[in-house]
A and B are shown apart, each in its own frame.
Chain A
């Protein structure tokens, strides 16, 4: 292209979208490893399945849209979306859950809106919400941490569970803790217990909180936090959104906790359970659907944090990142419109 030749600058930093995406994926690996360690093979199978479906469906959509397939596929964005869906789902959710979710994310949320850079909603989270509303049973059957399970699942059993070779009765065995009681996630446990009139202290005495934070979940969050810090170091993401999310959750939960520690989860447990760190560093930071300016991103992150806290505490769901992120996605253009930085040589306000 002769025209492009004429345009400065002629130097470029060699960091391209695909390498940005690749770095994000690599930084997510510690978290995935932790999930594997605590919850077994399920997460890996889900992630691989999601990636396969994502690549295949994106290729087909690109073909239908008459777009070049290879450059788009190789931008790694579909892989990242699939990975986020894979790690968000319950690890023994049936295979069709992840297939439907990924198809929905890639085909409808991403490409029907115009592909990378054009989508309004975070594809992974839109898919998650769709699945949660459509298939609430499958989407809330979290497996028990291996260390607490009555009968830990190996690879074969997990595959059987995911690909439907197990009857629901058989499957239920693996959802039981060693004490023979079906276990939920820590946040879910607390929510249920609070609704039953138990205090936080009573709830925290359950086996799932045997290490103080909810077995496995704490370390999974720590691993994602480390991955997030690595991304900050690599300048793959900027700090504003993640800090906004974490700070908002911390402030809100501290406030409630200080007022009424018996009926509210403490800020640290809030931050290190559920999907907090995964969402704060890997999901909310999706630049396409977030606000773009520095202040805008802080607001965007804080909005997610507040929404998460409100839904977790007062809403009907134990965790709420998908809803919070989608709601914040809706606000992003609005935030961008009103939070413009002051340009050089201008007075504030324009």
Chain B
């Protein structure tokens, strides 16, 4: 296997898929030397970069001279714009652009004074310049790709990766156009020295000057100049490429010369390659060596509607209407097209006041016989000729199918973005379908979509950030509230000086808060806070009740997760009991409390709920536990009394909150109740308490009890049962720990 460079040296050519052979029609303009055009009286110099990457250097009414920069760059992307002749800037306004749309673009109007007075150009000796200086000269000269795309050359010549192969594009595959052909014939030495500058900047391993075989004179001239130049013939070669459209396309040319394909969405630099147009090489030379900014270019003016077809040095900014007048336009503007660029990829000009741009290589003035008449679009018969000629190996008929149906995402899935809009498919289509137009519409729709998506993503990011911020603030508020609650509780409990009880209460509060926040129905912060406190209190109360059982108090028989024998636990329970007593005080509406009213309300409400739930649970327990009837009775009596005590209380104080509070609180209450039930069963049988089966036993007795309850309550009770199971397990774990 030969390496790529060896094959390049051998002049191996590869095949690019598809392509067409349209009538060349180049002889119309290729026979005469490049001529100068009489200077126009007005020039229009578009300055679209102003406001983006450039600042305007001149003011309206100011006199400028030829070659004077009109803009000053503010970023690396800036490509300078210069006055094409001397005169006065008479307007800076939005004027029709040289574009298929004809949409207005910010432009300077230069009224020439006819003196064509030039700025002083500084010629440079290449050997005294370093690469950065050369690039600066190129940028300041405003050099852009002259093949049509007009991409700023200084950017292209500052690649981030190494360039191994530079291709100088002298293909010029579009019919009619001969500007590069003539330039190569007449200015081959200049082009070669431009190539030498590129060579110096990029130090590639090879440079290929690719010229289509329908330009033998140009090939010969370039070969002569190359032989005369200092460039090594080992590294720089001229390769003749078979004539086919669109061989001049960057991707196609790379494929023909190297057999490699530029990956979709990438640039040739990724393959270590770079393609420059011959005219750009000329302009680089002119800028670096002669100090001449890019203010004129060779333009092919041709077509049967043109009296004097040929190639002309046209100052950039010359209006097309001036060219029409000077070249003897024979057509009728209302009927005949004026095409900027070639017949395959050029666009028809909607407004002849538009100027010649840096990328304008041809002004085609065809008669009606020369170009395709407007045909009625016929249905696609899926003949597939479009796929045969497509150089990008796409399926144009499928793209068309989806583009027509406005299924742009599907069109995109057929690699619409790899379409180079060369027009081969439309050229061969027997149904006269303007395929490229469909693709352009589809592409712009996709662009709009992706723009919108980008916007939507940004909006979502903003929204998410805001949500996050609100969440954070809420959390912060909650933490604060919790701390405050703990402090309050601290101050309440401090009277008893029982530190352990305080800690327990805090822990309970925290647990309650966690279970609150876990709930999907997030209450308003104040309510939330209340609920937490209430829950904590409820738990404390429950514990107190159990504590009383532990000390054989007649009020309750429940045992919380603590071992009744444990001294410490007993103490805690006692403390909780005390706390509960205090709370009961608060609960009493007649009693004066230091806590704010709202809190009291909430506490009361909660207590009522808890009490009610306890009552229910007790009832259940009574059904379950036959063994300890006396104890039970006391308990039930006590609790019902408690419930009846507190419920009216709540009603009196705030009915509204009661209604709002509800489900969650009821659930918590139910859970507590369940826990109690379980505890009772645990206490009633000591062996069961240490036996994990106890849980199962316990729950198995549940349904009987539940049958007496309403469906909603059954549901709640079930949830509660689950909580209770967890608690039982915890209790068991604790017991084991203790042991």
Which A residues are closer than 8 A to B by beta carbons?
1, 3-13, 15-17, 19-20, 71, 75, 77, 115-118, 238, 287-288, 290, 292-294, 297, 336, 340-346, 350
Contacts and interface: CB of A to CB of B under 8 A. Distances in A.
B379 A4 contact: no
Nearest to A336: B398
B359 interface: no
Given A17-B430, A115-B379, A344-B261, A9 B388 contact: no
Contacts of B387: 292-294, 341
A77 B430 CA distance: 13
A293 B394 CA distance: 10
B440 A344 contact: no
B346 interface: yes
5 contacts: A6-B100, A6-B350, A20-B383, A287-B383, A343-B415
B196 to A, nearest CB: 31
A10 B398 contact: no
Contacts of B337: 5, 10
B379 A11 contact: no
Interface in B326-354: 337, 339, 341, 343-348, 350
B345 A9 contact: yes
B75 interface: no
Contacts, number: 156
B584 to A, nearest CB: 75
Contact of B22 (A11, A287, A288): A11
B427 interface: yes
Contacts of A77: 381
A293 B395 contact: yes
A187 B358 CA distance: 71
Most buried by A among B17, B101, B266, B379: B379
Given A345-B251, A345-B261, A9 B436 contact: yes
B658 interface: no
B275 to A, nearest CB: 15
A343 B411 CA distance: 13
Contacts of B366: 10
Interface in B345-393: 345-348, 350, 364, 366, 371-372, 374-376, 378-384, 387-388, 391-393
Interface stretch (B418-426, B538-546, B571-579): B418-426
Contacts of B347: 6, 8
A101 to B, nearest CB: 22
A12 B264 contact: no
Contact of B376 (A9, A71, A238, A288): A71
B395 A292 contact: yes
Contacts of B440: 7
B65 to A, nearest CB: 37
Contacts of A287: 381-384
B428 interface: yes
Given A6-B348, A9-B423, A343 B394 contact: yes
Contacts of B262: 344-345
Given A10-B346, A116-B381, 16 more contacts: A4-B434, A7-B426, A7-B437, A8-B343, A8-B426, A10-B343, A12-B426, A12-B427, A13-B427, A17-B430, A117-B380, A287-B381, A344-B17, A345-B263, A345-B266, A350-B415
B343 A345 contact: no
A5 B350 CA distance: 9
A12 B421 contact: no
A147 to B, nearest CB: 39
Nearest to A5: B348
Nearest to B18: A344
B397 interface: yes
A30 B7 CA distance: 50
A117 B381 contact: yes
Contact of B384 (A1, A116, A292): A292
Nearest to B428: A13
Given A6-B348, A343-B393, A345-B418, A288 B381 contact: yes
B94 interface: no
Most buried by B among A11, A20, A340, A350: A11
A5 to B, nearest CB: 5
Contacts of A9: 343-345, 372, 423, 426-427, 436
A247 B510 CA distance: 82
Contacts of B375: 12, 16
Contacts of B382: 117, 287-288, 290, 292
Q: Is the interface of B mostly helix, strand, loop or mixed?
A: loop
Most buried by B among A9, A117, A294: A9
B631 interface: no
Contacts of A288: 381-382
Contacts of A75: 378
Q: Ordered nearest first, which 5 A-B pairs have the shortest CB separation?
A: A9-B423, A117-B379, A12-B372, A345-B264, A7-B437
Q: Is the interface of A mostly helix, strand, loop or mixed?
A: loop
Interface string B130-171: 000000000000000000000000000000000000000000
A345 B254 CA distance: 11
B264 A4 contact: no
Contact of A16 (B364, B371, B431): B431
Given A9-B436, A340-B395, A341-B395, A346 B426 contact: no
B321 interface: no
A211 to B, nearest CB: 37
Contacts of A15: 428, 430
Most buried by B among A13, A287, A336: A13
A10 B251 CA distance: 22
B432 interface: yes
Contacts of B101: 6
A261 B376 CA distance: 56
Nearest to A341: B393
A11 B343 contact: yes
B529 to A, nearest CB: 57
A344 B374 contact: no
Nearest to A235: B385
Contacts of A12: 372, 375, 426-427, 429, 432
Given A287-B384, A292-B382, A346 B415 contact: yes
Interface string B100-131: 11000000000000000000000000000000
B342 to A, nearest CB: 8
B255 A344 contact: yes
Contacts of B434: 4, 7
B589 interface: no
Contacts of A13: 20, 22, 427-428
B175 interface: yes
A281 to B, nearest CB: 15
Most buried by B among A12, A71, A287, A292: A12
Given A7-B440, A8-B347, A343 B379 contact: no
Given A117-B379, A293-B384, A345-B264, A16 B432 contact: yes
Contacts of A293: 384, 387, 395
A97 to B, nearest CB: 28
A238 B384 contact: yes
Contacts of A11: 22-23, 175, 343-344, 371-372, 423, 427
Nearest to B100: A6
A9 B337 CA distance: 12
Given A292-B384, A343-B264, A8 B436 contact: yes
A115 B380 CA distance: 11
Contact of B348 (A10, A238, A342): A10
A3 B102 CA distance: 12
B436 A7 contact: yes
Contacts of A5: 337, 348, 374
Contacts of B341: 8
Contacts of B391: 344
A4 B345 CA distance: 14
Nearest to A285: B383
Contacts of B264: 343-346
Nearest to B373: A12
Given A343-B392, A345-B262, A8 B378 contact: no
